[in-house]
Amino acid sequence: MSSAAFQANCSLRSAPRRQRLCSSTDAPVSRVPDVRALDAPLAITAPVVPGFGRGSRRLGFPTANLSTATPAVAQALTQLPPGVYCGYAALVEAATGAIAPPWHPAVMNVGTVPTFDNPQQSFEVHLVHAFEHDFYGRLLRVVVMGFLRRELKFASLDALIANIRNDVQVAQQALSSMRVELDAHAQANEAETR
């Protein structure tokens, strides 16, 4: 996909407005962000690589870190505004390249994770599902469907955790209305790869 086509695919459109309550990065979350849907879902398939290990151990939100060496991830990092996104993710069968159902709701951070002052960009995916094992080295198919908020630097881990918890709740609400789009998108992509 050309850079111009990729940029056009990643433009955002407003979803129905949600009530705004406040916007402090120090206090526990009391803001419900608008969710802006992408004009077209953005699908990325990439291997899962080890990250810093903070998601599970320190925050209670394990993440699958996508390899930034993968061209689709590298392009997404240059084209998507840094921020928190929602969508769906599924593991890919290594032998066949087919999606290994089911699709799981996901919240993604695209950018530098400013609370931890990461030196480089990352694409982190939190699947809203409890897995018994990690899946380092496995391929993960991610469909980015909506933008929740820009990246913020939080004053404390408690504030960050409260915001992530809120992001997950807002994403689940928004994704319930976007599921039909995912089903159509997944079918189209599966037909293209056969």
User: Which amino acids are annotated catalytic?
Assistant: 124
Give the span between the Cα atoms of 82 and 132, in whole angstroms: 30
User: Residue holding tokens 């189209």?
Assistant: 188
Residue ranges of alpha helices (H) inside the chain are: 3-9, 54, 71-79, 157-193
- Give the up-direction half-sphere exposure of residue 97: CA atoms within 13 A in the CB hemisphere: 7
Count of other CB atoms within 10 angstroms of residue 78: 10
